[in-house]
Amino acid sequence: MNPTVLVIGGSDSSGGAGISRDLQALHDMNVRGVAVVTAVTAQTNTSVRSINLVPQGTIRDQIETALASNRIDAIKIGMLGTRRAVEAVALSLPLHGAVPVVLDPVLAASSGRALADDDARVALVELLFPRATLITPNAIEAAVLLGEHVATDAATLESYALRLIEDGPRSVLLKGGHAEGEDSVDILVTADRAVSKLSGPRMHGTLRGTGCALASAIAAGLACELPLIDACREGKRYITGLFRVALETERSPLPAGAV
């Protein structure tokens, strides 16, 4: 049986991000996915129309029944939204270190609308960062978490990743999509403060849900028992492939007769 990853996060009615994107990434990585929904959102590619939060007890019930029904090889956590949701997840996770946990600290939608309040952000750091095998903030999320300005230069981003490791996660992958440079360079920092840089071509375009997909692809690699750095490399390759397909689709002419 294929490895199984439990994904925890919000649904997205457009299918572009959240649980839909998570499950697609796991399918593409040949890994089975089971899902826990923390919020139901109504979104388009440009805006969030509404957010309906799932009650704390329901989140816990979903996680506990998912764990009881499946052998879970890795967990990916995305949108939580409120402190109560963070608490529900923290209370329901397996014992610390039992399975790898990849935490994507989702703070806002691509459109800019907040998806987590200040109490949720504080709770993420207090309750879930110490449980995480890896956190995957982008430059904007890292700046918010640290109370700093948004940086785009590699040296400052590396310093942000080193500071985030002090909040308790076993490793930090600070994504380079918002940074400067011809290549997109992600910065991986581990608990011993070792720094690795994962470079790939900078794709000139936008694609929603890449943060969700990257974290899920990395969780898939960890579920398959890849070393962390190899799982991160595979995740980055997967995202580059998604961008290439999207850009090629945009450039392709419509087939004859298409409207």
Any idea what the CATH number is for the domain that residue 128 is in?
3.40.1190.20
In a domain, 133, yes or no: yes
Alpha-carbon Rg for the chain, nearest whole angstrom, is 17
**Residue-level pLDDT at 258:** 31
Single pTM value for the model: 0.90
In a domain, 11, yes or no: yes
In a domain, 63, yes or no: yes
**Residue-level pLDDT at 252:** 45
In a domain, 240, yes or no: yes
Say how far apart CA 246 and CA 240 lie, in whole Å: 10
- Per the structure, the complete domain to which residue 143 belongs is given by 4-194+207-251
Sorted by sequence, the CB contacts under 8 Å of residue 2 that are 6+ apart come out as 30, 31, 32
In one-letter notation, the amino acid at residue 140 is I
Say how far apart CA 107 and CA 80 lie, in whole Å: 9
In a domain, 233, yes or no: yes
The answer to whether 8 and 76 are in contact (CB under 8 A) is yes
Strand order in the sheet with 183-190: 48-53, 32-43, 4-12, 74-77, 101-103, 134-135, 171-174, 183-190, 195-201
In 3D, which of 101, 23, 91 has the Cα closest to residue 59?
91
In 3D, which of 209, 206, 154, 156 has the Cα closest to residue 181?
154
In this prediction, the residues of the chain whose per-residue pLDDT falls under 70 are 109-114, 177-181, 203-206, 249-259
Say how far apart CA 67 and CA 36 lie, in whole Å: 11
In a domain, 256, yes or no: no
**Residue-level pLDDT at 98:** 86
In a domain, 69, yes or no: yes
**Residue-level pLDDT at 14:** 86
**Residue-level pLDDT at 256:** 37
Structural domains counted in the chain: 1
In a domain, 258, yes or no: no
